[in-house]
Chains A and B, each alone.
Chain A
């Protein structure tokens, strides 16, 4: 394919807060032709149905509701004249080998107004968000009556469509979406009988335990799960039971709860079918694309950001990550445009793998791309590593180690699995380490025995 003037500089797949922020920063970084492809009738993403507040404290310094946060970015995109195609669903990228070479990528999409369309872009940003785990994934026994739905689906019915999912509700899963819906449904006149959580600890934020459950006298049953659903055409009740330390139901603890609706709030899974089918490799742990410190995937010119990469707690962090992805996508697109499509041989890079060490679960980015020869590091000079703790740890030191030395660290009073952590790593420390090695391989075994990647670990300090 040819790198021609009709091509977009950056195409963004998904017009939620991640995609909108990426489009805005791509524009501000000099990309003249930017398009956002959104499958819903309007841009704004999942925040449009999150009518509660708590968004924006970091990014805007104010507490906003979901729609208010989303609309700030919709307006920013409008002010910049960024094209946003709504009711447009991307179905594939670089299908049949078209595109994906040095000239950019070809996206195939279904548009309600234009039919089947192809969008050519030098750089692509995937900000496709995530979807909810369902009953099928949990394999709950019982019949298949109406009234079993995920908390997010119920949220859409209540807040966008104006329907109640039922009147007597049981919620499985103490994640924030479930807690928020417990409150929302109570405010709309439903009886939320209880929330049960299979783990011994609540999954959602402590503030939501208070403002959503305690303030409405809704019981939370820990180490409890739903083992059976009853009802023929409509849910009539569920059987709950306590579980042991291996999360197996304990015989004799079963209890029948009468209800007409079961809401499931049991996890989010990044949505990446389209990019994965086009060759973007995914991380088995995060279920999102493998990316570098610029949010670039393993496919040149294809970037990803937001919940599609890893599930976030705060949209403010989604915004930061997406502003970076958009900027890097624009820089890539502009350099491609300037070199008229020829592969840029000068910037050979070496990838340093980033690994989860002690106490750490799933890190992003999974690799740091350093300019070969150990010269000027790519990107900003600093990489922001994001990860979660495996458990609640107090009085810890979070460390990044490379080649046996600690290259970055910080202390924390407490870290929890439910709160994403960050650590800034100076890329210069990696370049220095690479300088004495061959530029042909990824910092290989030349030093025999010395670790070849960056390891992030959480260590409990011995002191009080």
Chain B
């Protein structure tokens, strides 16, 4: 059972061919680096993604702070994570790296600020 997929790890976007035999052994071809092999296996078993988003800021020079999950979260839970993010708010000042929402939906990933927002 073979499927093709595009690797999303870097802008090259190598076209991968991934197959799984009856014994459950996975073979990956088409990648030009080891990260592609790792990605394909993960994508077949437990696909994950980095969540990038914005979080509301109160009392800051701007209304939002750019943020990301510091670890990848299950792809199927991205929209659920966004429900949490949309309700979150942080008080200025915010510094790059500050945790805005810890262990989001029990995934083990924190949503952290990717920029600074100073107080108004």
Across the interface, A68 reaches (CB within 8 A) one of B5, B7, B96, namely B96
State the Cβ distance, A152 to closest chain B Cβ, in Å.
Answer: 16
Chain B residue numbers with a CB within 8 Å of A67 are: 66, 96, 114-115
B50 at the A interface (CB under 8 A): yes
B-facing residues in A28-59 (Cβ within 8 Å): 48, 51-54, 57
What is the bound-complex CA distance between A160 and B60, given in angstroms? 12
- The listed residue with most B CB atoms (<10 A of its CB), out of A159, A162, A207, is A207
Scan B47-91; emit 1 where CB is below 8 A from any A CB, else 0.
Answer: 001111110100000111011100000010011001000100000
Chain A residue numbers with a CB within 8 Å of B78 are: 187
What is the bound-complex CA distance between A66 and B12, given in angstroms? 18
What is the bound-complex CA distance between A66 and B66, given in angstroms? 9
State the Cβ distance, B106 to closest chain A Cβ, in Å.
Answer: 20
Using A52-B52, A71-B96, A71-B116 as known contacts, say yes or no to A160 and B64 having CB atoms under 8 A apart. yes
State the Cβ distance, B107 to closest chain A Cβ, in Å.
Answer: 16
Across the interface, B11 reaches (CB within 8 A) one of A57, A66, A161, namely A57
Is B56 touching A162 in the complex (CB atoms < 8 A)?
yes
Is A205 touching B53 in the complex (CB atoms < 8 A)?
no
Across the interface, A71 reaches (CB within 8 A) one of B53, B79, B115, namely B115
Scan B6-27; emit 1 where CB is below 8 A from any A CB, else 0.
Answer: 1111111101000000000000
What is the bound-complex CA distance between A269 and B96, given in angstroms? 32
A376 at the B interface (CB under 8 A): no
Across the interface, B63 reaches (CB within 8 A) one of A54, A162, A207, namely A162
Chain A residue numbers with a CB within 8 Å of B10 are: 54, 57, 63, 207
A189 at the B interface (CB under 8 A): yes
Is B68 touching A53 in the complex (CB atoms < 8 A)?
yes
User: Which residue in chain B gives the minimum CB-CB distance to A187?
Assistant: B82
Q: Which residues of B contact A (CB under 8 A)?
A: 5-13, 15, 49-54, 56, 62-64, 66-68, 75, 78-79, 82, 86, 96, 114-116
- A sample of 13 inter-chain contacts (CB < 8 A) reads A52-B52, A53-B50, A54-B11, A65-B66, A65-B68, A160-B62, A160-B64, A162-B56, A162-B63, A186-B79, A187-B78, A207-B8, A211-B8
Please give 11 more A-B residue pairs, beta carbons under 8 A apart, in addition to A51-B54, A53-B50: A51-B114, A52-B52, A54-B11, A57-B10, A66-B66, A68-B114, A68-B115, A162-B64, A205-B13, A210-B13, A215-B49
